């Protein structure tokens, strides 16, 4: 980022107090901050007691060999027991754990008692297939109940899982299976995507030819499509799981036993296997799910729209909600199949009270138009969450008005695969929220914004987001590569975890995320955040979504190039492009005025909904495209390139 610190250009005046009724009955109140400030480790030890331990920990944190942490190291517990069995033992067996909604419209509700039977039988089946504690299992499934069941069965046996997103290619799966030396792969014949069955097993068949450690492939029948079979290696889930015993005694594992590996692609090099362990991880996902969503498990219906192949699905579909005994919706498909009101139809059908989704989805709903959610009864909703990218203030306000009916608090939760659980977020019963800001570290979390020399920046200034104290759900290392763990996260600022994100503190000391520092633009000596320019563009009524990049420029170093998607009613013209440039200059100052504005119909996003600005930079600089393998839809890049003028505009 050079030495100039990141500019603070965007100013937001709107504030929304927590609803009085929610605040009066909130799970977590303002005193949690005071308690955690007074005794951070005591605070986390108390949260750990929300779980059921076979052996209660007497130690909290061992930080004698930083940055290698041990949390609750002398405690023992079983994660699946905590997420399933204990609720059944507490008399909650008839409570629905999962309302599964398949894309073709099939649905199935699974109670905690049923979930327990399924997890137990799956664990017994894995044992029959030779899986022991410590063995790695790769999971490559669509969003079906078996994905959650398979994760819990692995956790029950102490066999770390590596969930690979069901859209990744055979090569990507093979690299992940090889890196973890997985012994078993759990997949399905296929899943449903945009109204059509889409096969999954062929990718595993190709991948496994390069993975000698894989002994068996366990296959869930989802679509019933034709499936090539490798006798001796392949086993149908229903053949082996259905005939298993319904009893299984969960073994308690030490708190630092590995729970899962999840690969993050990063921008370059081989994927990093982020390692999470048992006790600290479950403590923090469980606490944050309870605190940030104010979950009332007796009455709430919770829905996280993420895929289980992403960390949000691990922490806020499988482990956090189930550890809290939540009732939740699990949806297989896309938001526009078979129609653009599908999400709202599901909210209405199940009476969803808490919705957790990504800014990219919210901006897409804005683009489709206000009239679509207006056709459904969304009055059950009471808390809305956002995760994955900075949420532009205008998208936040749209979410609040058009989905939340102006009454639901929005929690903008900042965290990463590496942090395992939420780190920065408002609390819905405490915080007066500000559109676009994740605001402040959760109780027990220490974060700040520093400059290049690791000095904390004053209020009103920008820099780098760092975490200054270890936290229970932190990654423990990169699988098989401690040195890379040190180099990637702990070497930029001594003694601090560097998250890779730019951030600023506003005049009140609240934190705003400004995008990945790799994407920051350097224009005439000023570091300008992609997020702020994008937010300024989205604040214009004609714009639904925007992505900006810095493209090489002979005079200014980099020039701001903006790709915009217009709202349903707006149409492209030179006059509009000029109006948008002027609008940004008015909002943020002339330094942030985009040099080029290009109208597109779609933006390249990853499977977890993040805009891939690196590819847009390739387009803006007329280069061949880099790696597109993690894109949701690679044909988007063809559309963008086809829509571009052959030579850059000169102005």
Q: Is 417 in the site for ligand 6R9 (CB under 6 A)?
A: yes
Give dist(CA 292, CA 285) in Å, integer: 10
Rounded to a whole number of angstroms, the minimum distance from the CB of residue 287 to ligand 6R9 is 16
Q: Is 589 annotated as a binding residue?
A: no
- Contact between 530 and ligand 6R9 by CB under 6 A: the answer reads no
Smallest distance, Å, CB 262 to ligand 6R9? 9
Query: Which run of H or of E encompasses 326?
Result: none
Residue 312 is a binding residue for ligand 6R9 (CB under 6 A): yes
- Helix/strand/coil for 237: helix
Q: Report how far residue 629's alpha carbon sits from residue 399's, in angstroms, rounded to the nearest whole number.
A: 31
- For ligand 6R9, the closer of residues 78 and 357 by Cβ is 357
421 to 450, contacts with ligand 6R9 by CB under 6 A?
438
Q: Tell me whether residue 88 or residue 384 sits nearer to ligand 6R9 (CB atom).
A: 384
Contact, 253 vs 158, CB < 8 A? yes
Residue 416 in marked binding region = yes
Site for ligand 6R9 in 494-513 (CB under 6 A): 499-501, 513
| Binding track, positions 292-311, relative to ligand 6R9; x by CB under 6 A | -------------------x
348 among annotated binding-site residues: no
Task: Give buried/exposed letters for 501-524 (b at 16+ CB in 10 A, else e).
Answer: bbbbbbeeebbbbbbbbebbbebe
Cα separation, 170 vs 158, in Å, equals: 27
Query: Does 195 belong to an annotated binding site?
Result: yes
- Give the DSSP per-residue string, 163-202: E--TTS-HHHHHHHHHHHT-SEEEEESEEEETTEEEE-HH
Contact indicator for 18, 430 with CB cutoff of 8 Å = yes
- Judge if the upstream peptide bond of residue 196 is cis by omega within 30 degrees of 0: no
Beta strand 184-188 pairing with 137-140: parallel
Choose between 539 and 608: whose C-beta lies nearer to ligand 6R9: 608
Choices 101-109, 120-128, 324-332, 408-416 (CB under 6 A): range interacting with ligand 6R9: 408-416
Has 414 been labeled as part of a binding site? Answer: yes
Of positions 390, 436, 441, 470, contacts ligand 6R9 by CB under 6 A: 390
With the C-alpha atoms ordered 386, 390, 393, 394, is the resulting torsion angle positive or negative? negative
Question: Applying CB under 6 A, which of residues 608, 611, 613, 615 lies at the interface with ligand 6R9?
Answer: 608
Q: What is the CA radius of gyration of the chain?
A: 24
Residue closer to ligand 6R9 (CB basis): 121 or 476: 476
The site for ligand 6R9, by CB under 6 A, has a size of 21
Applying CB under 6 A, which part among 80-88, 147-155, 386-394, 518-526 lies near ligand 6R9? 386-394
CB of 527 to ligand 6R9, least distance (A): 16
Window of 120-128, 132-140, 381-389, 594-602 that interacts with ligand 6R9 by CB under 6 A = 381-389
The distance of closest approach from Cβ of residue 516 to ligand 6R9 in the complex, given in angstroms and rounded to an integer, is 5
Task: Choose between 78 and 437: whose C-beta lies nearer to ligand 6R9.
Answer: 437
Is residue 413 close enough to count as binding ligand 6R9 by CB under 6 A? yes
The one among 205, 300, 389, 510 contacting ligand 6R9 by CB under 6 A: 389
CB 496 within 8 A of CB 537: no
List 548's β-bridge partners, or say none.
562
Q: Is 528 in the site for ligand 6R9 (CB under 6 A)?
A: no
- Specify the stretch interacting with ligand 6R9 by CB under 6 A; choose among 139-147, 400-408, 409-417, 556-564: 409-417
The strand pairing partners of 551, in sequence order, are 559
Beta strands in 424-470 (DSSP E): 447-450, 462-467
Stretch that binds ligand 6R9, among 80-88, 411-419, 577-585, 637-645 (CB under 6 A): 411-419
**What residues have CB less than 8 Å from 557, skipping those under 6 apart?**
522, 523, 524, 525
Pick the closer one to ligand 6R9 by CB: 27 or 288. 288
Strand partners, 254: 76
| Cα 602 from Cα 363, distance rounded (Å) | 11
Q: State which of positions 207-236 bind ligand 6R9 (CB under 6 A).
A: none
Count of Cβ atoms closer than 10 Å to residue 409 Cβ: 25
d(CA 460, CA 161): 43
| Footprint of ligand 6R9 (CB under 6 A) | 264, 311-312, 386-390, 412-417, 438, 499-501, 513, 516, 608
Binding residues: 193-196, 312, 388-390, 412-417, 501, 516, 524, 538, 540, 543
Binding residues for ATP: 388-390, 412-417, 501, 516
């Amino acid at each position: 980022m050079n030495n100039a610190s990141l500019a603070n250009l965007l100013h937001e005046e709107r504030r929304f107090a927590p609803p009085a009724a929610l605040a009066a009955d909130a799970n977590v109140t303002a005193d949690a901050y005071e308690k955690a400030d007074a005794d951070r480790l005591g605070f986390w030890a108390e949260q750990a007691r929300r779980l059921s331990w076979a052996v209660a920990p007497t130690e909290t944190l061992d930080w004698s060999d930083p940055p290698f942490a041990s949390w609750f190291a002398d405690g023992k517990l079983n994660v699946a027991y905590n997420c399933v069995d204990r609720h059944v033992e507490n008399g909650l067996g008839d409570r629905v754990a999962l309302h599964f909604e398949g894309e073709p419209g099939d649905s199935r509700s699974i109670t905690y008692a049923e979930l327990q039977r399924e997890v137990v039988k799956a664990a017994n089946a894995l044992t029959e297939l030779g899986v022991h504690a410590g063995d790695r299992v790769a999971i490559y499934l669509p969003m079906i109940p078996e994905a959650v069941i398979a994760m819990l069965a692995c956790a029950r046996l102490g066999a770390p899982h590596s969930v690979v997103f069901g859209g990744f290619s055979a090569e990507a799966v093979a690299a992940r299976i090889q890196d973890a030396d997985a012994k078993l792969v759990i997949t399905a014949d296929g899943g449903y995507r945009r109204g059509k069955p889409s096969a999954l097993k062929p990718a595993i068949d190709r991948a496994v030819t390069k993975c000698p450690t894989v002994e068996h492939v366990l296959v869930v029948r989802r679509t019933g499509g034709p499936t090539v079979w490798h006798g001796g290696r392949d086993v149908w889930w229903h053949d082996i799981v259905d005939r298993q015993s319904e009893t299984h005694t969960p073994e308690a594992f030490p708190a630092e036993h590995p729970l899962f590996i999840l690969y993050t692609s990063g921008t370059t090099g081989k994927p990093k296997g982020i390692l999470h362990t048992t006790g600290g991880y479950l403590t923090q996902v469980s606490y944050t799910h309870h605190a940030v969503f104010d979950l009332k498990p007796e009455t709430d219906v919770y829905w996280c729209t993420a895929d289980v192949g992403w960390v949000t699905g691990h922490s806020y579909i499988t482990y956090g909600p189930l550890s809290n005994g939540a009732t939740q919706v699990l949806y297989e498909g896309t938001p526009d199949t078979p129609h653009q009101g599908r999400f709202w139809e599901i909210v209405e059908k199940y009476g969803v009270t808490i919705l957790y989704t990504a800014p990219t989805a919210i901006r897409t709903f804005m683009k489709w138009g206000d009239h679509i959610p207006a056709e459904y009864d969304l009055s059950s909703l009471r808390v809305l969450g956002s995760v994955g990218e900075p949420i532009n203030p205008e998208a936040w306000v749209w979410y609040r008005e058009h989905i939340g009916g102006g009454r639901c608090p929005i929690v903008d939760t900042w965290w990463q695969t590496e942090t395992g659980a939420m780190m920065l977020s408002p609390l819905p019963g405490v915080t007066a929220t500000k559109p676009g800001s994740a605001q402040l570290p959760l109780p027990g979390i220490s974060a700040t914004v520093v400059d290049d020399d690791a000095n904390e920046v004053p209020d009103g200034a920008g820099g780098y987001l760092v975490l200054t104290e270890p936290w229970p759900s932190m990654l423990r290392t990169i699988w098989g590569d401690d040195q890379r763990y040190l180099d990637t996260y702990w070497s930029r600022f001594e003694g601090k975890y560097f998250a890779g994100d730019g951030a600023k503190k506003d005049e009140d000391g609240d934190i705003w995320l400004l995008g990945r520092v790799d994407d920051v633009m350097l224009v005439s000596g000023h570091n300008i955040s992609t997020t702020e320019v994008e937010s300024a563009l989205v604040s214009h009524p004609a714009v639904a979504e925007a992505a900006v990049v810095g493209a090489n420029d002979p005079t200014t170093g980099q020039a701001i190039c903006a790709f915009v998607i217009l709202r349903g009613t707006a149409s492209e013209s030179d006059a509009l492009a000029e109006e948008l440039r002027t609008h940004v200059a008015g909002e943020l100052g002339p330094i942030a005025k985009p040099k080029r504005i290009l109208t597109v119909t779609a933006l390249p996003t990853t499977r977890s909904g993040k805009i891939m600005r690196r590819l847009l930079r390739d387009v803006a600089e007329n280069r061949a495209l880099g790696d597109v393998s993690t894109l949701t839809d690679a044909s988007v890049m063809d559309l963008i390139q086809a829509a571009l003028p052959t030579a850059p505009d000169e102005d």
